[in-house]
Amino acid sequence: MLFINLLILVPIHAENIWIDEEVIKNHIFNKAMFYLDSCNYALALKELQKIIDQYPGTDYAANAQLSKIELYDSLDCKDPQKALLEYQSMLQHYPNTKYWLIAKKAILYDQYKGQSFEA
């Protein structure tokens, strides 16, 4: 039943409600957020990747990855393939966590987008 409820939720692409605002307020996100606010997306992506590399398996890394996905889903850096790769990476790196569930939901949503529930 939980699985079906997740499919009915608002699409993750509309707005990334999954990013934990308390986590990204940490000072390690300062550079990345500065670059995002400055619309320097290439440097923002680099800084977010540094967080992922330096803090693997943590909420910091997961939220940095979700921030990258949000950027890849935005009109400024639209790249659905890269977003999908990030979600697939989350499936591998965060089993049995809320991040795995977020990634799985997003992948299923993309896979079945435009189809009726019966399909």
For domain 21-111, the CATH superfamily is Tetratricopeptide repeat domain (1.25.40.10)
- 32 pLDDT band, cuts 50/70/90, is very high
Q: Tell me: the pLDDT tens digits for 59-113?
A: 999 999 999 999 998 877 888 899 999 999 999 999 989 999 999 998 888 887 7
Per-domain residue ranges of the chain: 21-111
pLDDT at 10: 34
Q: Which amino acid is at 114?
A: G
Buried b (16+ CB within 10 A) or exposed e, 84-108: bebbeebeebbeeeebbbbbbbbbe
Residues ≥6 apart with Cβ < 8 Å to 32 = 44, 47, 48, 51, 64, 67
Helix (H, G, I), strand (E, B) or coil at 88: helix
Task: Calculate Rg over the CA atoms of the chain.
Answer: 14
Residue 117 has pLDDT above 70, yes or no: no
